[in-house]
Amino acid sequence: MYVTTASRLTIQSGQLTIGTTAQQLSDRSVPPLSQGVTITAATGNAGVIYVGGEQPAYVLEPGQSVTIPTTDMRLVYVAASEVDQSLSYIGY
């Protein structure tokens, strides 16, 4: 994960390869976000990404994105329909 702070705006970004078990988008305690986090499923994924709370259910097809208004990325969970699926995220 990459974290930078400029003019009181914290930006956190990164990429994850995930499997079928739900996991937190980030387990790090970092400065709070001010707007939310945008998650994008990689275009090369064979399966879908699930996004949400501890039992993620919102479906992202390959190439799709969703923005979740939150100040804490630890509250966002992701899982996939197949192993070795990728996503990228940017929180701000």
Q: What is the pLDDT of residues 55-76, one digit of tens each?
A: 999 999 999 999 999 999 999 9
How many Cβ atoms from other residues are within 10 Å of residue 7's Cβ? 4
* DSSP per residue, 15-63: EEEE-SS-EES-----SPPSS-EEEEE-TT-SS-EEEESSS--EEE-TT
Check pLDDT > 90 for residue 31: no
Identity of the amino acid at 18: I
Per-residue pLDDT reduced to its tens digit, 4-22: 555 567 788 999 999 999 9
The per-residue pLDDT of the chain, averaged, comes to 91
pTM of the model: 0.89
